Amino acid sequence: MPGRLKVFLGMAAGVGKTYRMLQEGQAEAENGRDVAIGYLEPHGRAETTAQAAGLEVVPRRRVEHRGALLEEMDLSAIIARAPELCLIDELAHTNAPGLEHDKRYRDVADVLHAGIDVYSTVNVQHLESLNDQVAELTTTRVRETVPDEVLGDADELVLIDLTPEALIERLRAGKVYPAARVESALNNFFTLENLSALREVALRQVAEEVEARRVLGPSSAPARRVDGERVFLDAAPAAIGERLLALVEPTPSSQRVVRRAWRSAQRLGTDLDLLWLQPPRELSDGETAQLEALRRLAVVLGAHLLIEQGDDLVATVRRVARERGTTYVLIGEPSHRNALQRLLRPSLPSRLLAALPGIDVRIVADRTRREG
């Protein structure tokens, strides 16, 4: 029987995710459970380190990479030790090359498969579908991401909430980063505006998790806990007949369209198809690289990437929409067209609306272009 996963979610570093994970781990140990720390990253925070006292720590694995000796979680040692509960920090961590998996969340999946319960931590900005939104809100692009389904599949989700003002106070007091890093952090990522936006995203994420399921009362169903309140939930039935189709190209901007489309699909409880009409020519190296990036993103989000050959986009969309039962078509912002171009040929949204009666067509705006 697989283990159960509890994830402690926060808006940013320093809100207390690891501290709470250790606190609950200590409580489980006091109740007689066999608890071990598989990986802990206290970032030099004395309060967090103290909270780990008395818990067994599985030794880390040392890996040499580019002349440096790195310490990583030892997956095989954890499975061999087989505690009842394993505490594994930083779910979004990228492993050093040469380990069993490239990402820690895949290590956690193996630990769960071995029948071991896991407590883990992650910040909301590491969710793959929120990558663009967080970059737009904070002007900082997060490179380490976790598929949203990892959070969705967790048996329990605990939101560690802290006001932006309280987090900034902790930062100034040296409880988050060393003194030398405080001023830089306050002037960059840890501004009141950024933290307020991230807190709103975290609260909305948990609210959407809860809203996507119907409350049943105590059972074996997955649970969500918000601010200490435990709610047992079961999956709600998917919306009937809805299906999304996003039009993409091998360009960086299409990844933003995909993520926004995926979140729309999640709200509707339905599937997402991605369609690219490949032109009858050889792809450039840049296009090939971007196509592979789209493939990887589709795999991470669980979307279906469809590649069709041809040069008539509207006719292809009409055919694919009929075959896939599409009810929504999402496209990126059309390129700027001068007056003569608009006169000679209708825009793509106009042509799609004419060709797809009964199907909603939505333009995914580039929010980075919004005026202050």
pLDDT tens track of the chain, all 372 residues?
899 999 999 989 999 999 999 999 999 999 999 999 999 988 888 889 999 999 999 999 998 877 788 889 999 999 999 999 999 999 999 999 889 999 999 999 999 999 999 999 999 989 988 887 788 777 778 889 999 889 888 999 899 988 899 999 999 988 898 888 899 888 888 888 888 888 888 887 777 766 654 433 333 344 444 444 333 333 333 334 688 999 999 988 888 899 889 888 888 888 899 999 998 888 899 999 999 888 888 888 888 899 998 888 999 999 999 888 899 999 988 766 555 655 566 788 888 998 998 889 998 877 655 555
Q: What is the pLDDT of residue 121?
A: 96
Fold for domain 244-369? Rossmann fold (3.40.50)
Distance CA 227, CA 160 (A): 7
Q: What is the pLDDT of residue 218?
A: 34
Do residues 120 and 7 touch, judged by C-beta distance below 8 A?
Answer: yes
Query: Are 5-235 and 244-369 in the same CATH fold?
Result: yes
Half-sphere exposure of 153 (CA within 13 A, CB side): 13
Domain boundaries, the chain: 5-235, 244-369
Phi/psi for 20 (5° steps) reads -65, -40
Q: What is the pLDDT of residue 367?
A: 62
Do residues 51 and 19 touch, judged by C-beta distance below 8 A?
Answer: yes
Fold for domain 5-235? Rossmann fold (3.40.50)
Q: What is the pTM of this model?
A: 0.66
Where are any strands of DSSP class E within the chain?
Answer: 5-10, 35-39, 56-57, 61-65, 68-72, 85-88, 117-123, 156-159, 213-215, 223-226, 229-235, 244-247, 272-278, 304-309, 328-332, 360-364
Q: What is the pLDDT of residue 180?
A: 87
Q: What is the pLDDT of residue 92?
A: 94
The angle at the Cα of 139, spanning 8 to 295, to the nearest 5 degrees, equals 70
- Provide the residue type at 226 as one letter: V
Q: Tokens 């808006």 appear where? A: 11
Determine whether 309 is exposed, middle or buried from the number of CB atoms within 10 Å of its CB (0-12, 13-18, 19+). exposed
In this structure, the chain runs to a length of: 372
Q: What is the pLDDT of residue 160?
A: 92
Q: What is the pLDDT of residue 228?
A: 40
